[in-house]
Chain A
Amino acid sequence: MADDETPSQTQESSTAREFSANGTSMSTTDVEAKLDKGNIEEAESSLRERLSLNSEEARTLLGRLEYQRGNVEAALRVLDGIDLQAAIQKLQPSSQQAARLVLEGVYLKVKSLQKLGKFAEAAQDCTNILDAVGRIFPQGIPDAQVESKLQEMISKAVELLPELLKQAGKYQEAMAAYRRVLLNPRNLDNDCCGRIQKAFAVFLLHSGLEAGPPSLGAQADGAYVPKNNLEEAILLLLVLMRKIHHGDIQWDPSVLDHLMYALSLCSQTPVLSKQLEELKPGVFHRTERWNLLALCCSGVGQNKAAMNLLRKSLHINERPNDLTALLLAAKICSEDSQLAAEGVGYAQRAVDNAKGVDEHLKGVGLRMLGLCLGKQAKVSSSDFERSRLQNEALKSLDSALSFEQDNPDIIFELGAHYAEQRNLNAALRFAKKYIDITGGSVMKGWRLLALILSAQQRFAEAEVVIDAALDETGKWEQGPLLRLKAKLKVSQSRPMEAIETYRYLLALVQAQRKSFGPMKIDSQVEDDKVKEFEVWYGLAALYSSLSHWKDVEVCVKKAREMKQYSAELVHTEGFMHQERGEIQEALASYINASLLDPFYVPSKVWIGALLSKLGSNSLPVARTLLSDALRIEPTNRKAWYHLGMVHKDDGRLADAIDCLQAASMLEESDPVENFRSIL
C-alpha cells in the first residue's frame, strides 16, 4: 500500500501523486490531464483498466484526487456518477470493506458540499451516513482493522453533522443532533467528545435560541438535568474543565474563557475561583492567576481575600505595575479606612503607570487617590494631618475631574467632600450637577442635595427636593428618603407631620418584610430587619425629642426585636434617664452604649458632658472623652460645645473660646443627617 499523500491544494502539479490499489500503483498525471479536459468517463476507464477497479472504486479515487487538488465542484461531479444511495441500500454487514468505501465516498461528497456552501444538502447526506451505519452495524463494527478507519470517519461524521445543521440555519435540529451524540457518546474518543461538548456549549451560550429541556426517557434517574441553555452550557463547560483537570483532554483556554463569561453573567465568580485554583501550575503565570482570582473575589465582595491576592501579585518582585491590579487594589482600599493608607500607595502607582495606551485611566487613578486620601483623613491622629490629607484628597479629585469632566462618580465625590468640609456653596454646585447628569436615577444624589440644603438651613427647599426624589424612586427604596423627610419636618418644628411620615414608612417597611415571601435570600431578610430597626429607632429618637417617654419605650422595645444589641437604643434609653433626672442610670446607659460600640460618638459626648458637671476632678476625663469623640467625628458641634465648657471650667479661656466658636460655626451649617452617611 502506498503512503497517504498529504493533500496540498496549492501545489497541484508539483507533488507527485500516485494511485495505488490491488498491488499496483500508477501516477496521476494522465488522469489529471483527462479530468482537466472534463473527460470523466475516460479518466474512469483508464483507472479501472490499470488498477482493476470497479466503477465505484474508480470514481471514489477520482473524487478524492479532485478534492485533494481543491477542485471541489469537479469532485462532486465525479461522485455524482456513483449511485451512492443505491450502494448504501445494498450494503451488508458482511462486506465491511465495501461499506467503508461507499461511506467514505458519501463523506467526501458531504465535505465538498460543505465547501461549496450547500449546507442543507451536506447535512442530509451526513445524516444518511449515520443512519446507514446504524442500520448495518447495529451492534458496532466487528472487524477490528476495518473498524478503526471506519470508526474514525464515523466520529468525524458525528462531529460534522451538528455543524452543518448550524451552518444551514437549522438550529433546533442542530441542538437535537448535539444532544443525541452527547447523551450517548459510546465510541467517541476523549478529544472528539470534548470538541463536540465545547461546540455545543458555545452554541447554547450564544445562539440566542432556547433549546428547551432534553427529552431523556429513562436516562434521567437521579442525574441532574439542566433546565435552560445557560444551565446546560455551564454544565458542559464544567464537565470539560473536569476532563482538563484529570488530564483526559488537553488544556484549552477557550473553555475557561467561556466559563468565565457565563459565570460572570450569573455573578457566580466563586465557582470560577475554584476552577482556577484547580488548574495545574504553569497553565497561567502565577501573577495572572492571582489577578484573575482577585477579580473573582472582588466580584462578589470578598474583599479581604482579593486584597491578599493583590498584595502578592503587586509585590515588588512580581508584577508591581499591573494597572488593572493597582486600580482594583486602590478601589478596595478606598472603601475601608484601615486600608486607606495602603490604598494611597496603589493609587499613586496607578497614576504613575497610566501612560501611553493606558493614559485614559489616569483620571481613574486620580479618583482612587482622592478617595483613599479622604478615607485616610478620617483615621488620622492629628488635626493637622487630617486637614492636610483632606486638602490632598480634594486636589486629587479636582485633577481627576479635569481628565473626566463628565464622570458622575467624581462629581458626586467632590460634592460630598466639599459638604463634609462645610464648603456648602461648592458642594451644592456639584450635587446639582450630579443629579442632572444621572437624570435623578441615583438616590444618594438626591440625599446629598437635600442634606446640603438642610445644612444651609433651607429646610423647605430640602423638603421639596426630597418630594421630587420620592417621585422618582420606586416604592421599596423610599426608606432613606422618608427618614430624611421626617427629620426635615422636625427641623421645621412640625413634629406631628414627622410622626406621620414615620408611620407611613413603618407601614411600607413592614409590608416589604411580608411580601416576596419564600423567594427571599438571607441577606434580604437581614436587610429588611435593618430597615425596620432604623424606622423604630428613628421614631424613638423623635419621641425622645418631644419627651413622649412612654412612646419612646414602646419604640425601643420594637427596635430591640430587630436588633438586640444596639448602641443607639441603649443611648436613647440613657437620654431618657437623663431627661428624667436619673443621672446615674443615664451614665450607666451611656457607658454601656460606648462598650457596645467604641466608635459611637453621641454616648461619648454625653458621658463627657455629664462628667464635666460632677466636679473639677472629672474634668480631665471629660476632656479626654470629648477629644476622642472629636477624633472620630470632627464636625460634632455638641462635642465642641461641651469641650468648650470643660476648658472654661478649667480656666483655659482661649481654648474655650476656640471650641465654642467652632461649635457655633458648625451649628450654622449642620445637616439633619451626618454627611458621612452619604459616602
Chain B
Amino acid sequence: MSSSNPGSPSATAPSSSSASSFSSKAHSCIQALSSILSTVPSSVSSSSSLLHDPTVSSQISTLLRDPDSGSGDNNLCRWLYDTFHSPDPELKLVVLRFVPIVAGIYLSRIALRKSLAGFEAILLALYAHETTARDGQPISVNVPDLTQPSIYHEAKSSVKTQATELNLAVISPTLEPHGTMRSSRRARIVGVALELYYSKISQMPVSSKLEFCEFCDIWATGIQNKPSSSSSSKQKTILLPWELLQPSLRILGHCLLGAHKSKKLYEAASIATKSLYERSLHDIDAKAILATSSLLRLEKMALDPKLNVDHTEIDMSLAL
C-alpha cells in the first residue's frame, strides 16, 4: 500500500511559501501518517506539534526498530522520504528528529545482508540536501594566530600581513553528489546526515537526543543495553571512521555540556562518551582519545562543587 505523496514536485504549489500552503501540507502529511501508525492524537495538527508529540515519536521509533523496517517498500520509510522533500522546513525537522534512529539501525544492520533500500533513500536524500545547500563546498574553520589582534584581544602585530596567513582546518570536506549508496561512501553519507542533524539540534526534542546517545553507545561497544529489546543483546560494533566519529562527538558534546536541563540526557550522554573513550583506546585513535578524554574530564569538573562557585552570588550585608 503506497501512501499519497504530499511532497511530490508534481503537485502544483504556486504559493508554496505561504503559511496556509504549509499548514495544508502538514495536514496531508499527518493524514498520510495516520494510515501507517495505529493512533495519531488529535492534538497533532501542525508540523511543530508533530515534531514534539511523544505518542507519535514513540510509535515511529518502535516501527523503525522492527526487523524488516528498512526495506525499499516500507511505508514508514516512504513517508519519511516524502516528508523530507516537503518545502516546509518544519516538516523537514520532523524527519531530522529520526536521524539518530535511522542511522543507528541502518549501520547496525549492514552486516546482516538485509535490504535496506528504504533507509538508504532517506539518508541519500539528507545527503543531497546538504550537498545542494553547501554547493558541495567544504566547511573550514580558521584557527587564529594570536599575534594578530582580534575583536576579543589586542596584540602588537609588528608585521602588517595583508593576507592573514589563515590556518584553515577543514572540518567537513567537499561533498560530491551521490545517487546511490556505495559502501565506501557509506560512512561519509551517514556522517553528513549527522552533520545536518547537529545543525538543527537546538530544535530537536530530548527524546531524539536520547536515541542518539543510545546508538552511539551501541556503535562503540556493540552491546545493546536496552532490556526491552527482543533481539539478542550482542550486536556487532561498527567501523567508526573519523567521518562518523567527528559529527557524533559534536552531538555528544551538546548532549553532555549544552545548556539543556535534562538529567536523563546528561546521564545517557555520559555513558555514550565513556563507551566512545574506551573504543578510541581500542582503536588507538589519538584524536578520538584526546576529544573523548577531554569530554570526560569536563563532565567530572562540572560535577565538582568546588569548581562551580557562583560568583554572581550577592553579598548579604545586613548593614547599611
Residues of A within 8 A of B (CB): 1-5, 7, 17-22, 25, 28, 51, 53, 57, 60-61, 64-65, 67-68, 101, 104, 107-108, 111, 152-153, 156-157, 159-160, 163, 166-167, 171, 182-183, 192, 195, 197, 202-203, 205-210, 214, 216, 219-220, 222-228, 230-231, 234-236, 238-239, 242, 253-254, 257-258, 260-261, 263-269, 271-272, 292, 295-296, 298-299, 323-324, 327-328, 331, 360-361, 364, 368, 406, 408-409, 436-443, 471-477, 516, 519
| B236 touching A406, Cβ below 8 Å | yes
**Neighbour of B312 across the interface among A1, A160, A183, A220, CB < 8 A:** A160
| A22 touching B320, Cβ below 8 Å | yes
Chain A proximity of B47: nearest CB distance (Å): 20
Chain B proximity of A367: nearest CB distance (Å): 9
| B184 touching A441, Cβ below 8 Å | yes
Chain B, 167-203, contact with A by CB distance < 8 Å: what is the 0/1 string? 1010100101010001111110000000000110110
B249 within 8 Å of A by Cβ? Answer: yes
| B151 touching A224, Cβ below 8 Å | yes
| B297 touching A257, Cβ below 8 Å | yes
| B314 touching A107, Cβ below 8 Å | yes
Chain B, 120-143, contact with A by CB distance < 8 Å: what is the 0/1 string? 000000000000000001100111
| B239 touching A442, Cβ below 8 Å | yes
In the bound complex, CA of A331 to CA of B282 (Å): 11
| B294 touching A360, Cβ below 8 Å | no
| B316 touching A7, Cβ below 8 Å | yes
In the bound complex, CA of A210 to CA of B295 (Å): 21
Q: List the one stretch of B7-15, B27-35, B96-104, B283-291 in contact with chain A.
A: B283-291
B66 within 8 Å of A by Cβ? Answer: no
Chain B proximity of A201: nearest CB distance (Å): 10
B146 within 8 Å of A by Cβ? Answer: yes
| B291 touching A260, Cβ below 8 Å | yes
Show 19 A/B contacts (Cβ-Cβ < 8 Å), sorted by A. Answer: A4-B315, A25-B319, A101-B320, A111-B312, A207-B202, A222-B160, A225-B151, A254-B297, A257-B297, A261-B294, A265-B246, A292-B290, A364-B282, A364-B284, A368-B284, A436-B111, A472-B184, A474-B176, A519-B137
| B153 touching A239, Cβ below 8 Å | yes
Q: Which residues of A contact B314 (CB under 8 A)?
A: 67, 104, 107-108, 111, 153, 156
Chain B, 272-304, contact with A by CB distance < 8 Å: what is the 0/1 string? 000000100111101111110011011001000
Q: Which residues of B contact A1 (CB under 8 A)?
A: 319
**Neighbour of A472 across the interface among B143, B174, B183, B315, CB < 8 A:** B183
Q: List the one stretch of B48-56, B78-86, B252-260 in contact with chain A.
A: B252-260
Interface residues on B, range: 35 or more
**Neighbour of A156 across the interface among B137, B281, B311, CB < 8 A:** B311
In the bound complex, CA of A442 to CA of B176 (Å): 19
A-B contact count (CB 8 A): 251
Q: Which residues of A contact B317 (CB under 8 A)?
A: 4-5, 64
| B184 touching A443, Cβ below 8 Å | yes
Residues of B within 8 A of A (CB): 110-111, 137-138, 141-144, 146, 148-153, 160, 164, 167, 169, 171, 174, 176, 178, 182-187, 198-199, 201-202, 222, 236-237, 239, 246, 249-250, 253-254, 256-259, 278, 281-284, 286-291, 294-295, 297-298, 301, 307, 311-320
In the bound complex, CA of A505 to CA of B316 (Å): 78
| A254 touching B301, Cβ below 8 Å | yes
| A269 touching B290, Cβ below 8 Å | yes
Chain B proximity of A416: nearest CB distance (Å): 17
Contact A271 to B143, CB < 8 A, known contacts A20-B320, A64-B318? yes
| A267 touching B287, Cβ below 8 Å | yes
| A166 touching B111, Cβ below 8 Å | no
Q: Which residues of B contact A166 (CB under 8 A)?
A: 259
**Neighbour of A226 across the interface among B111, B142, B183, CB < 8 A:** B142
| B319 touching A474, Cβ below 8 Å | no
Contact A299 to B290, CB < 8 A, known contacts A18-B318, A68-B316, A225-B150? yes
Q: Which residues of B contact A203 (CB under 8 A)?
A: 259
**Neighbour of A264 across the interface among B111, B278, B290, B311, CB < 8 A:** B290
Chain A proximity of B219: nearest CB distance (Å): 13
Interface SS of B by simple majority: mixed
**Neighbour of B239 across the interface among A182, A271, A408, CB < 8 A:** A408
Q: Which residues of B contact A19 (CB under 8 A)?
A: 318-319
| A68 touching B318, Cβ below 8 Å | yes
**Neighbour of A473 across the interface among B184, B253, B287, B298, CB < 8 A:** B184
| A260 touching B151, Cβ below 8 Å | no
CB closest residue in chain B, given A158? B312
| B291 touching A4, Cβ below 8 Å | no
| A-B interface, 7 closest residue pairs, ranked by CB to CB distance from nearest | A439-B110, A208-B201, A266-B169, A21-B320, A472-B183, A264-B291, A441-B183
**Neighbour of B198 across the interface among A208, A234, A328, CB < 8 A:** A208
| A328 touching B286, Cβ below 8 Å | yes
| A261 touching B319, Cβ below 8 Å | no
**Neighbour of B320 across the interface among A3, A53, A205, CB < 8 A:** A53
Chain B proximity of A231: nearest CB distance (Å): 5
| B253 touching A261, Cβ below 8 Å | yes
- Looking at A108, A227, A258, A441, the one whose CB has the most chain B CB atoms below 10 A away is A441
Q: Which residues of A contact B160 (CB under 8 A)?
A: 222
CB closest residue in chain B, given A475? B176
| A473 touching B183, Cβ below 8 Å | yes
Q: Which residues of B contact A242 (CB under 8 A)?
A: 146, 153
Contact A265 to B313, CB < 8 A, known contacts A231-B142, A295-B289, A406-B237? no
| A471 touching B319, Cβ below 8 Å | no
| A437 touching B287, Cβ below 8 Å | no
In the bound complex, CA of A159 to CA of B236 (Å): 48
CB closest residue in chain A, given B297? A257
Chain A proximity of B210: nearest CB distance (Å): 15
Contact A253 to B311, CB < 8 A, known contacts A20-B320, A68-B316? no
Q: Which residues of A contact B146 (CB under 8 A)?
A: 238-239, 242
Q: Which residues of A contact B187 (CB under 8 A)?
A: 441
**Neighbour of A224 across the interface among B144, B178, B257, B298, CB < 8 A:** B144
- Looking at B143, B257, B307, B315, the one whose CB has the most chain A CB atoms below 10 A away is B143
Chain A proximity of B256: nearest CB distance (Å): 8
**Neighbour of B143 across the interface among A3, A263, A361, CB < 8 A:** A263
Contact A234 to B254, CB < 8 A, known contacts A195-B311, A257-B297? no
Q: Which residues of A contact B236 (CB under 8 A)?
A: 406, 437
CB closest residue in chain B, given A516? B174
Q: Which residues of A contact B286 (CB under 8 A)?
A: 269, 295-296, 298-299, 328
Contact A260 to B294, CB < 8 A, known contacts A208-B198, A216-B151? yes
Q: Which residues of A contact B315 (CB under 8 A)?
A: 4, 152
CB closest residue in chain B, given A18? B318
Chain A proximity of B229: nearest CB distance (Å): 19
CB closest residue in chain A, given B149? A223
CB closest residue in chain B, given A149? B315
| A171 touching B153, Cβ below 8 Å | no
CB closest residue in chain A, given B235? A406
| A156 touching B312, Cβ below 8 Å | yes
| A219 touching B151, Cβ below 8 Å | yes
Q: Which residues of B contact A101 (CB under 8 A)?
A: 320
CB closest residue in chain A, given B201? A208
Q: Which residues of A contact B295 (CB under 8 A)?
A: 257, 261
In the bound complex, CA of A334 to CA of B202 (Å): 43
Contact A4 to B319, CB < 8 A, known contacts A156-B312, A271-B143? yes
In the bound complex, CA of A594 to CA of B253 (Å): 54
**Neighbour of B290 across the interface among A208, A216, A254, A296, CB < 8 A:** A296
Q: Which residues of B contact A209 (CB under 8 A)?
A: 202
Chain B proximity of A55: nearest CB distance (Å): 13
CB closest residue in chain B, given A65? B318
Chain A proximity of B127: nearest CB distance (Å): 12
Q: Which residues of A contact B249 (CB under 8 A)?
A: 261, 265
In the bound complex, CA of A209 to CA of B260 (Å): 12
Q: Which residues of A contact B222 (CB under 8 A)?
A: 406
Q: Which residues of B contact A327 (CB under 8 A)?
A: 281, 284
Chain B proximity of A167: nearest CB distance (Å): 7
| A439 touching B141, Cβ below 8 Å | no
